[in-house]
Structure 1
Amino acid sequence: MLNRVACAPCCWGIEQATDQTNPSWGKVLMEASEAGYRGIELGPDGFFPQQSGLLQSACRVRGLQICAGKVELPFADGKRSESVLKEAENVCRNLAGLGVDKLLIMEGIHSERYCHIGQSVTAPRLSLERKHQMVVQLNSIIEIANGYGLRCLLHPGIGGYITYKDEIEFVMHQISACRLGLCLDVGHVFLDGMDPIAMIRQYGKRIQHIHLKDVNTEKLRIAIRDKMEWVDAYSEGLITPLGDGDMKLKKVIEVLKAIDYEGWLVVEHEHSNAELSSVTYDLKRSREFLTQAIA
């Protein structure tokens, strides 16, 4: 497992490729390598250079492998079908050019859902008809990705309409495992009231990519009480380096070993841009935690 530990650009506060406060892509690769990681996710489309030779060479000299790319698109919004599919096509074309073989698919953020961390009961929901329309859109994205040789993995996340346990189960039931795998973000599922260990046991081999976060449960209680938006919650310390929070991450690793998990473990601890001075230190601590947990 230790040779497949990666990190993601969100650790540097990178959520939008065009944000002028982002650190340079070269700095991200350098610090990921220095902290002992073997892989990097691409993050938002356009942050890393699109020239495949340039990025692949930069990763190679730093001992890094690109482990996955992603799209975050509001495919639950039927009115945006054409633009969603066009953007998906552009991202898939870029990923294929970089030699990436896995596409993480997130249902994009909707303002009415963004402040419902851990609030499955009160969060706005789609009608059954709209859920089926969403699945049709998702299948269209999968078709596009397959055309570029990409394996698609659903990434449930905060702010979209595939977040809570019943929403995940609906989509995974509607689309077969041969077409759609699962990227399980253990932090996100914990934040939204699910048991990561039970989810790993439920989906087993369908899980082909793991995101690891740790969570400060006191900060989570405040985020739920105050109906905080995701970016505000993590800026207040909701997400911690691995081992500093309250999740049972050693048990998570134990259960992953039990199902013979062979994919990447991707460390994510979201920072605001104001906290970038601690990124390398935090990444090293998370890497050290995993070294001990996996041994």
Structure 2
Amino acid sequence: MSEILEVKIGINPISWSNDDLPSLGGEIPLSTALSEGREIGYQGFELGNKFPKDPAALRELMAGYQLDVVSGWYSGRLATQSVEEEIAAVESHLNLLAENGCKVMVYGEVANAIQGERKVPLYKRPHFDDDAFKRYGERLTAFGKHLLTRGVRLGYHHHMGAYVESPDDIDRVMAYTGEDVGLLFDSGHAYFGGGDPLTILGKHIGRVCHVHCKDVRPAIIRHARNRQWSFLDSVLNGVFTVPGDGAIDFAGIIELLRKNHYKGWLIVEAEQDPAVAPSYAYASLGYRTLRGLVDGIRTKEAA
């Protein structure tokens, strides 16, 4: 019998409120997200700006909802600063994650990134030349080694509007870093970044330590490119959605993860306007889609 897919299904609070665009769900309290997420069936949450920054307070909050702390985004700047500077900057966030049992940190490179700039089109994102990429990879590896001293692995988040966006960028960041750096595979950013999610996942499956399950609306992606939208305008126009509501082959993704013995979290993360895409309904659809695929595989194996 082949190995059962040993995963947990969690969610990012961005389905309820968006840290980069506070106008999207900013009025929704954290308690609503946590109670609804738990009711739907999610086992844990990634962090957002509304969560406590004190490790004990966070642990107490999440225990009250019987939810795990999965991970949390860290805005890294290793593209422009030293490993020593980054280690000093990350300390409080690393401690928050480590003290709450997290095994992965979501590392997003924000130096020179335009993902949060509403008026800057995506084509103006930053780029490395090959030598700069190699030096960046060395710094990432050293930083990843430091995180592992606390039992937390760096999960590198390829992201629209940043240095690592395209399939070629992902190839190079993996080539120029060591095994201490893992890859956060994000299906939506893989597609939007110009790649085939299954191809990217298959190529780098050995380094994948965390998975963001985000679906896409291809027609909106075409508009975003043709009309030179910014990342935030793309989000506002509905470029992303939850699994089961877009074009990505999540059955293929889940099967590929199973075949390669992935053990970790599947995180529903889909930036949308909750006034247009009601939080509970879409979070529920994302959960049911992933749960059905995971349980379907288990049923097939048991048979």
TM-score range, shorter chain: 0.7 to 0.9
**Where does 1:82-93 land on structure 2 (aligned, <5 Å)?**
84-93=86-95
- Alpha-carbon distance between aligned partners in 2 of 1:163 and 1:97, rounded to the nearest angstrom: 31
Structure 1 residue 65 and structure 2 residue 68: aligned?
Answer: yes
Q: How far has the Cα of 1:224 moved from its partner?
A: 0.7
What's the counterpart of residue 199 of structure 1? 200
* 1:149-202 residue CA offsets vs partner (Å, 9 max, x unmatched): 21112111112112222222222112222x111110011001111111112221
Point out the more displaced range, 266-275 or 222-231: 266-275
What's the counterpart of residue 100 of structure 2? 98
Letter in 2 for 1:292: G
Structure 1 residue 13 and structure 2 residue 11: aligned?
Answer: no
* 1:250-271 residue CA offsets vs partner (Å, 9 max, x unmatched): 2222222222222111001112
Q: How far has the Cα of 1:83 moved from its partner?
A: 5.5
- Alpha-carbon distance between aligned partners in 1 of 2:18 and 2:174, rounded to the nearest angstrom: 29
Query: Contact (CA 8 Å) 1:181, 1:207: kept in 2 or not?
Result: yes
Residues 153/112 of structure 1: CA separation in 2 closer, same or farther (3 Å cut)? closer
Letter in 1 for 2:281: Y
Structure 1 residue 50 and structure 2 residue 33: aligned?
Answer: no
Q: How far has the Cα of 1:283 moved from its partner?
A: 0.5
Q: How many correspondences in the alignment?
A: 287
What's the counterpart of residue 250 of structure 1? 251
Residues 274/109 of structure 1: CA separation in 2 closer, same or farther (3 Å cut)? farther
What's the counterpart of residue 166 of structure 1? 168
Q: How far has the Cα of 1:75 moved from its partner?
A: 2.1
What's the counterpart of residue 299 of structure 2? none
Letter in 2 for 1:35: I
What's the counterpart of residue 290 of structure 2? 290
Query: Contact (CA 8 Å) 1:10, 1:269: kept in 2 or not?
Result: yes
Structure 1 residue 35 and structure 2 residue 37: aligned?
Answer: no
What's the counterpart of residue 223 of structure 1? 224
The SS at the match of 1:71 is strand
The SS at the match of 1:244 is coil
The SS at the match of 2:50 is coil
* 1:101-127 residue CA offsets vs partner (Å, 9 max, x unmatched): 21121111635577565x6xx855222
The SS at the match of 2:71 is strand
The SS at the match of 1:246 is coil
Query: Contact (CA 8 Å) 1:74, 1:160: kept in 2 or not?
Result: no
Point out the more displaced range, 206-215 or 163-172: 163-172
The SS at the match of 2:204 is helix
The SS at the match of 2:185 is strand
Q: How far has the Cα of 1:66 moved from its partner?
A: 1.2
Query: Contact (CA 8 Å) 2:141, 2:178: kept in 1 or not?
Result: no
Letter in 2 for 1:167: D
Letter in 1 for 2:181: L
Query: Contact (CA 8 Å) 1:85, 1:140: kept in 2 or not?
Result: no
Q: How far has the Cα of 1:227 moved from its partner?
A: 1.5
Structure 1 residue 107 and structure 2 residue 114: aligned?
Answer: no
Residues 16/93 of structure 1: CA separation in 2 closer, same or farther (3 Å cut)? farther
For structure 2, the 5+ residue unaligned runs are 297-303
Point out the more displaced range, 188-197 or 50-59: 50-59
Query: Contact (CA 8 Å) 1:89, 1:145: kept in 2 or not?
Result: no
Instruction: Tell me the TM-score normalized by structure 1.
Output: 0.86
Letter in 2 for 1:38: Q
Q: How far has the Cα of 1:84 moved from its partner?
A: 4.2
Q: How far has the Cα of 1:6 moved from its partner?
A: 0.4
Residues 206/139 of structure 1: CA separation in 2 closer, same or farther (3 Å cut)? closer
The SS at the match of 1:231 is helix
Identity of aligned residues (%): 24
Instruction: Tell me the TM-score normalized by structure 2.
Output: 0.84
- Alpha-carbon distance between aligned partners in 1 of 2:22 and 2:219, rounded to the nearest angstrom: 33
Q: How far has the Cα of 1:287 moved from its partner?
A: 1.2
